[in-house]
């Protein structure tokens, strides 16, 4: 009887010990699984946080690519466009190039983020939607920059055309001014000669005319102009002719009211008082004695 009880008690102890060992092993496995699960969750959480931070940084980069505010406006209103020069046009193209480079860097960062998420196995609908929104924003920026490039190219073409037009207009104006000046000078210039009877007669400027039997002849201009004998005078610029003698007379038909002969030191001077009337006769002959 006692042997049976001892045997039963021993068997119970063995069973209890085996159950305890089984439960302990199961506990250890559960604890290990829990730790692994927790580590995996922490890893996923860290990757999720890193992805969110990357998206925020990319969004900040996109927000920095501003095309329309006052500080980075590339193309302004009509008055500003009219003032676009080659230098400002080049500056604008440089700015567009910087914006394009910023967009390309943003696209690369999005690709790197997608690759990282794909490699880590993180698949969260919210993240995918955020990335899709980023791609859409990048596409919008590219479209706007493309439109700006076309606009600037068009404006530069217009400016080049306007520059050519202005240059041609300036050349036309200069030609017209030169023509007007030549015409003014032609109208305002007379030609004069000063000399005694012998010199003027020899050069064919004057001749003795009229009289009877060689008497009472009068010295008069012949009307034959020897250009080398005359000196030009622009009456719009100069109105005084110096005469080196104290006696002289005007032989040509300038209106007497349009000039004055006055003493000036050791000689005379002919002062033109009405240039418009005086130059109606283009040649002036002064006879000295």
Identify the residue with better confidence: 246 or 83: 246
Per-residue pLDDT, 114: 80
d(CA 200, CA 181): 32
Identify the residue with better confidence: 144 or 171: 171
d(CA 140, CA 127): 20
| Highest-scoring range by mean pLDDT, 2-6, 59-63, 151-155 | 151-155
Instruction: Tell me the domain boundaries of the chain.
Output: 2-183, 196-288
How would residue 251 be classed by pLDDT, with cut points 50, 70 and 90?
very high
Q: Considering only CA atoms, which of 222, 191, 195, 198 is closest in space to residue 284?
A: 191
Instruction: Determine if the pTM surpasses 0.95.
Output: no
Per-residue pLDDT, 88: 62
d(CA 270, CA 260): 6
Give how far Cα 12 sits from Cα of 7, 18, 19, Å: 9, 10, 10
Examine the pLDDT at 34 and tell me if it is beyond 60.
Answer: no
Examine the pLDDT at 201 and tell me if it is beyond 90.
Answer: yes
Per-residue pLDDT, 57: 67
* CB atoms inside a 10 Å sphere around CB 52: 14
pLDDT, mean over the chain: 79
Q: Poorest-confidence range of 85-94, 139-148, 167-176, 250-259?
A: 85-94
Q: Poorest-confidence range of 47-56, 81-90, 112-121, 249-258?
A: 81-90
Per-residue pLDDT, 280: 95
How would residue 269 be classed by pLDDT, with cut points 50, 70 and 90?
very high
């Amino acid at each position: 009887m006692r042997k049976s009880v001892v045997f039963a008690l021993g068997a119970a102890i063995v069973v209890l010990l085996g159950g305890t060992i089984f439960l302990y092993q199961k506990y250890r496995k559960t604890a290990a699984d829990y730790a692994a699960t927790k580590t995996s969750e922490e890893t996923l959480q860290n990757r999720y946080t890193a992805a969110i931070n990357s998206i925020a940084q990319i969004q900040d980069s996109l927000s920095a690519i501003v095309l329309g505010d006052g500080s980075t406006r590339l193309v302004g209103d009509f008055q500003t466009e009219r003032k676009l020069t080659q230098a400002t046009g080049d500056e604008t193209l440089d700015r567009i190039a910087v914006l394009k480079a910023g967009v390309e860097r943003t696209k690369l960062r999005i690709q790197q983020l997608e690759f990282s998420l794909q490699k880590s196995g993180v698949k969260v609908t919210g993240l995918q939607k955020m990335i899709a929104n980023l791609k859409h924003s990048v596409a919008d920026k590219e479209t706007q920059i493309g439109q700006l490039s076309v606009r600037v190219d068009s404006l530069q073409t217009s400016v080049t055309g306007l520059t050519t037009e202005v240059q041609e207009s300036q050349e036309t104006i200069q030609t017209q001014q030169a023509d007007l000046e030549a015409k003014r000078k032609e109208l305002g210039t007379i030609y004069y000669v000063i000399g005694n009877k012998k010199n003027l007669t020899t050069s064919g400027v004057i001749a003795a005319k009229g009289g009877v039997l060689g008497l009472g002849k009068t010295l008069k201009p012949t009307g034959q102009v020897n250009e080398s004998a005359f000196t030009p005078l622009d009456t719009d610029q100069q109105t005084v002719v110096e005469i080196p003698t104290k006696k002289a007379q005007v032989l040509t038909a300038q209106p007497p009211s349009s000039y004055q002969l006055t003493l000036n030191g050791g000689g005379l001077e002919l002062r033109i008082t009405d240039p418009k009337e005086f130059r109606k006769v283009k040649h002036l002959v002064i006879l000295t004695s």
